[in-house]
Each structure stands twice: as structure tokens, then as C-alpha cells.
């Protein structure tokens, strides 16, 4: 019997929204239903992608170069990890994907959505997440949650206005695709956010049975 294509779930939100604190419990919840689960992240998820991540987070570069490198990392990730996993019937949980490019490079940096769309079409060949959880918080909450224990990377070091544009771009994408992108109010306590995440996943998992 040929395995059906697996489900592709992504997590999004501005830096400091708190999504990383929930990845392990989301993965546990999905594992109860998935034949196998691949947990990965962008930029990164492959040896080449992790090197590109290091460059993207720390090396100054032109914003067009940044956009191309995000998609270069994504191309490697899709061709060698995500697409083969989905084709085997595995499910994939990815910490950030192309919504982050529309939010950060489109909203934050002000790059043209149409250009991002061209790269998306070329690199993704139609692959899109089945479900995206958008962890949304007001900027002052995100700022307070961002770690001050280490030097901020190139994105964390951006001004508040950058994050406001990024957040608004995420919210516009959610409004345009309400079936795929579910907004989680992440300004609440860990327990409350966790309960909302479980509620959204449970509802979606029922429809996937």
C-alpha cells in the first residue's frame, strides 16, 4: 500500500512570541497520531541550511541577498528533508517556514511580496503547510521575553518598528488564510497558551482522521 502524503505543520511568530517553549509538547501531541514525525526548523534543518542560518543570523548583507539565502536554505531543506518525509507519509513539524519570509523580509524589510511569491513558486513546487500556528503577542510582551542572556542576532537587534511591521504582515497573512493559519494569543500564561494549542490541534487532528 502506498503511504498517503504526510501532514505539514509550521509554527510562526515574532522573536519573543514564545513558540519555542511549546514545540516539545506540540511534537508529543502530533506523535500520538503521526506514523512518524520529523521536527525541524528554518532557516536550517540540513547541514548546508545550518551554515546558511549562521550567516543569515550574524553576517551583515544586502536585504536581497538575505531573501535569496532564506530560499536557498529552504530549497535544500525541502528537497532533502521535508518533501521526502511527506512523500513517505511522515508528518513534518517545522519551526518557521515561508510565512516568516513574508513577515520578516516582506513586512519587516519592506521587500516586494510579488518577488517573494516568485521564489516561493520556484522553490516550493506547490508544497504548502496544512496547518500553521501563529503565536501572536503585543510587541512589549515579545520584547520582555527576548533573551538578554546573549548578544542579539541580526533580527533580534532590529528596532521595534521592524517587529511591528513583521507582526502586522503575519496578521494580514492569517486574515487571508484563516483555514490554514490559526492565531494563538500567546500573551497569556504558558498553561493557557498550551491549552489553546492543544484545542486547535485536537480539532484539526479530528478532521485529518
Preceding peptide of 200 cis, ω within 30°: no
Mask 52-91, x = binds ligand TMP (CB under 6 A)?
------------------x---------------------
| Choice between 1 and 176, CB closer to ligand TMP | 176
Is 6 an interacting residue with respect to ligand TMP (CB under 6 A)? no
Q: Is 120 helix (H, G, I), strand (E, B) or coil?
A: helix
Site for ligand TMP in 7-26 (CB under 6 A): 15
Distance CA 30, CA 18 (A): 19
Q: Is 184 helix (H, G, I), strand (E, B) or coil?
A: strand
Give me the helices (H) in 39-189, please: 47-58, 63-77, 83-88, 98-100, 113-124, 139-145, 160-176
E-strand ranges in 106-149 read 131-136
In the complex, least distance from residue 48 CB atom to ligand TMP, rounded to whole angstroms = 15
Which region, judged by CB under 6 A, interacts with ligand TMP, from 93-101, 112-120, 121-129, 171-179? 93-101
Q: Cell digits for 30? A: 502530533
Is 101 an interacting residue with respect to ligand TMP (CB under 6 A)? yes
Which region, judged by CB under 6 A, interacts with ligand TMP, from 78-86, 101-109, 115-123, 127-135? 101-109
Under a CB-based contact definition with an 8 Å cutoff, are residues 147 and 104 in contact?
no
Residue 24 contacts by C-beta under 8 Å, 6 or more apart in sequence? none
Distance CA 67, CA 56 (A): 10
Is 132 an interacting residue with respect to ligand TMP (CB under 6 A)? no
Query: Exactly one of 22, 77, 96, 173 binds ligand TMP (CB under 6 A); which one?
Result: 96
Query: Exactly one of 33, 50, 155, 187 binds ligand TMP (CB under 6 A); which one?
Result: 155
Distance CA 183, CA 196 (A): 10
| Choice between 26 and 100, CB closer to ligand TMP | 100
In the complex, least distance from residue 147 CB atom to ligand TMP, rounded to whole angstroms = 10
Under a CB-based contact definition with an 8 Å cutoff, are residues 17 and 99 in contact?
no
Is 100 an interacting residue with respect to ligand TMP (CB under 6 A)? yes
Binding site for ligand TMP (CB under 6 A): 15, 41-43, 70, 95-96, 100-101, 104-105, 155
Amino acid at each position: 500500500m502506498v503511504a498517503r502524503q504526510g501532514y505539514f505543520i509550521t509554527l510562526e511568530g515574532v522573536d519573543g512570541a514564545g513558540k519555542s517553549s511549546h514545540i516539545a509538547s506540540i511534537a508529543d501531541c502530533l506523535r500520538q497520531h503521526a506514523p512518524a514525525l520529523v521536527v525541524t526548523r528554518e532557516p536550517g534543518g540540513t547541514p548546508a541550511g545550518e551554515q546558511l542560518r549562521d550567516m543569515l543570523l550574524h553576517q551583515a548583507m544586502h536585504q536581497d541577498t538575505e531573501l535569496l539565502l532564506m530560499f536557498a536554505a529552504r530549497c535544500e531543506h525541502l528537497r532533502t528533508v521535508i518533501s521526502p518525509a511527506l512523500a513517505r507519509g511522515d508528518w513534518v513539524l517545522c519551526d518557521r517556514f515561508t510565512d516568516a519570509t513574508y513577515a520578516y523580509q516582506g513586512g519587516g524589510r519592506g521587500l516586494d511580496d510579488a518577488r517573494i511569491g516568485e521564489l516561493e513558486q520556484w522553490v516550493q513546487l506547490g508544497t504548502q503547510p496544512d496547518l500553521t500556528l501563529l503565536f501572536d503577542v503585543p510587541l512589549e510582551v515579545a520584547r520582555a521575553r527576548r533573551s538578554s542572556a546573549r548578544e542579539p542576532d541580526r533580527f533580534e537587534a532590529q528596532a521595534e518598528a521592524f517587529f511591528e511591521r513583521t507582526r502586522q504582515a503575519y496578521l494580514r497573512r492569517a486574515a487571508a488564510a484563516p483555514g490554514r493559519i490559526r492565531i494563538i494569543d500567546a500573551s497569556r500564561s504558558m498553561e493557557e497558551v498550551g491549552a489553546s494549542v492543544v484545542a486547535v490541534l485536537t480539532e484539526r487532528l479530528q478532521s485529518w482522521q
